[in-house]
């Protein structure tokens, strides 16, 4: 009986391993020259205005999580936001309401706005010096409806003027003012032509100059907060001209509708994830050609639109598209990336009822990307044949070295990887040779490839590894494992410490199927980094 049982277990194990592949490869990181740069405060989270009646697909996921009724005094919320502050400031964007009436006349006039709905959220957030606040203005105020979705006429500036003036009088520091929400191109429910929009932005810039004339602080003007349309965005920059629009914001929901039954499959499809690269590339070209004085932000991105996917967007699997898109956006000089939302809907970083962080919070936003990935972006690629391996590299944040981000979208392939600085290793002319044959030649090259072998007076021969997997290998788990250990709040609501495992730099990196890893090389010799991130970090941390 025991022999039969042992034989069964062995055969079952054999079948399990036989359906999985091991692919060996080389990851190449070019530390000589940066390919892009993000802001120090790249990670941003939106706070929306949706009421608890906001429902999608017969489900109402917002509850009391919007600025209309959010309990800002909840201790878990405070702890979660503090976690995001740990390695810098958190950018917070409050979205404007596009459908004027169609309308939330929330910004009716400062004197008419209730203390709870305006004073508490704005004063609590904007007076915290660790928060960088972008506030959305209604760009439909005063316009009239021309057709079903097209709006025209001049924007009525009086409402915005009074609101901005009021925030100045109360001492609320708004880092930037965003004009409109999803009115670009064909718009979402409503649209405004680029020429008219540009003229109104010029008016808004004049208001900002006038109201902040006596202030040392000058806020940025951000627009249009909508989906990228090349013709519309190009025309907007032509109409406004130099110095008007400081930041071009665009929204990205590349996974489609939240109720799609194949949403999980879309998240793990490397071809679908890569399609979004054309948006970032085209926007980058628009800025270079028509508005080099401005920069690009993702003003809103939640993966799947209409509040995200129920039981998908708040689980482990959602983190694959999110982290991958952070990596892609960084490569195209996106300065800020705002996640929809900090709390609210199915895609919130925090649970709308308990305020306990969802997996995305732990993985990308605060406690790993925010802590490890610096502002300088490096070119990274691999020679593996599978498109399921995604590779991104940045100078490390707040210290020397380089941090590598690895994403494995495959449910079958294990990757065994070596890291190389930039000089390609010859494969003897055989273009189809497996990378495993390169390992010996790579190891012999290791001393010249990495700086930790004495070039900086350090004998450090270890790297830090942060491997992320779902509990019980269940992709829709809401519990994430860091190096096999569950990440959970303490009894006091404190964010757990994120501890790496140390590995010899001479050993391969092992990446499991459907997993994510941040790999920190403390003494990687990257000329492009040259201590810049450390200097910037110290300057902000110790002014």
The residues annotated as belonging to the active site are: 182, 300
Q: Which of 54, 204, 46, 211 is nearest to 125 (CA)?
A: 46
CA–CA dist 480, 494 (Å, integer): 16
Q: List the beta bridge partners of residue 222.
A: 178, 247
In the numeric block, the tokens 């009716």 are attached to 108
- Burial track 477-493 (b if 16+ CB lie within 10 A, e otherwise): bbebbbeeeebebeeee
Cβ contacts of 6 within 8 Å, gap of 6 or more: none
DSSP string, 276-326: THHHHHHHHHHHHHH-TT-EEEEEEE-SSBSS--TTTTTSTTHHHHHHHHH
What's the token pair of residue 316?
């482990």
Q: Which of 405, 397, 393, 421 is nearest to 532 (CA)?
A: 397
For residue 403, is it left (φ>0), alpha (ψ between -120 and 50) or beta? Answer: beta
Cβ contacts of 304 within 8 Å, gap of 6 or more: 253, 255, 256, 257, 258, 260, 263, 312, 313, 347
What's the token pair of residue 329?
């956006």
Cβ contacts of 105 within 8 Å, gap of 6 or more: none
Q: Which of 448, 444, 438 is nearest to 416 (CA)?
A: 438
Q: Which of 373, 355, 353, 354 is nearest to 363 (CA)?
A: 373
DSSP string, 380-398: EEE--S-TTEEEEEEEETT
CA–CA dist 115, 147 (Å, integer): 37
Q: Which of 136, 413, 70 is nearest to 297 (CA)?
A: 136
* Angle (CA) 399 405 406, round 5°: 155
């Amino acid at each position: 009986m025991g022999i039969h049982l042992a034989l069964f277990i062995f055969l079952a194990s054999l079948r399990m391993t036989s359906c999985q592949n091991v692919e060996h490869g080389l990851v190449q990181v070019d530390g000589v020259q940066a390919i892009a740069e993000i802001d120090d405060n790249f990670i941003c989270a939106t706070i929306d205005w949706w009421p608890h009646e906001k429902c999608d697909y017969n489900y109402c996921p917002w509850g009391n999580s919007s600025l209309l009724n959010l309990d800002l005094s909840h201790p878990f919320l405070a702890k979660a936001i503090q976690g995001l502050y740990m390695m810098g400031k958190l950018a917070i964007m409050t979205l404007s309401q596009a459908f004027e009436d169609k309308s939330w006349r929330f910004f009716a006039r400062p004197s008419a706005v209730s203390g709870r709905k305006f004073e508490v959220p704005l004063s609590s957030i904007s007076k915290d010096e660790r928060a960088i606040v972008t506030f959305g203005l209604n760009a439909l105020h005063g316009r009239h409806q021309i057709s079903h979705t097209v709006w025209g006429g001049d924007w009525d500036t009086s409402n915005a003027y009074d609101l901005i003036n009021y925030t100045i009088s109360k001492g609320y520091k708004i880092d930037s003012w965003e004009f409109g929400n999803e009115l670009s191109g064909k718009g979402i429910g409503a649209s405004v032509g680029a020429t008219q929009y540009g003229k109104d932005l010029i008016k808004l810039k004049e208001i900002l100059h006038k109201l902040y004339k006596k202030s040392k602080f000058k806020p940025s003007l951000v627009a249009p907060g909508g989906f990228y349309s090349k013709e519309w965005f190009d025309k907007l920059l032509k109409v406004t001209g130099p110095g008007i629009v400081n930041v071009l914001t665009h929204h990205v929901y590349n996974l489609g509708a939240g109720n799609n039954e194949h949403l999980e499959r879309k998240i793990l499809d490397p071809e679908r994830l890569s399609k979004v690269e054309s948006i970032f590339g085209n926007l980058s070209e628009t800025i270079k050609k028509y508005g080099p004085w401005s920069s690009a932000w993702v003003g809103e991105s939640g993966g799947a639109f209409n509040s995200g996917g129920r039981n998908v967007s708040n689980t482990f699997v959602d983190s694959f598209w999110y982290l991958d898109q952070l990596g892609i956006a960084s490569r195209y000089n996106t300065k800020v990336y705002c996640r929809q939302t900090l709390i609210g809907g199915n895609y919130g970083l925090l649970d709308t009822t308990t305020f306990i962080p969802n997996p995305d919070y732990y993985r990308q936003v605060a406690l790993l990307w925010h802590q490890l990935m610096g502002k300088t972006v490096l070119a990274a690629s691999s020679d593996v044949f599978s498109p399921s391996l995604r590779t991104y590299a940045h100078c490390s944040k707040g210290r020397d070295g380089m941090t590598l981000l690895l994403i494995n979208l495959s449910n079958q392939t294990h990757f065994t990887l070596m890291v190389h600085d930039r000089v390609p290793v010859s494969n003897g002319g055989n273009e189809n040779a497996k990378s495993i044959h390169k390992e010996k030649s790579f190891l012999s090259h290791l001393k010249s490839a990495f700086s930790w072998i004495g070039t900086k007076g350090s004998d450090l021969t270890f790297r830090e590894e942060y491997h992320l997997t779902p509990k019980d290998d269940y992709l829709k788990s809401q519990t994430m494992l860091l190096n096999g250990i569950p990440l959970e709040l303490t009894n006091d609501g404190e964010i757990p410490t994120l501890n790496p495992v140390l590995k010899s730099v001479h050993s391969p990196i092992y990446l499991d199927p459907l997993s994510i890893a941040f790999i920190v090389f403390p003494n990687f010799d990257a000329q492009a980094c040259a201590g810049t991130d450390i200097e910037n970090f110290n300057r902000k941390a110790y002014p």
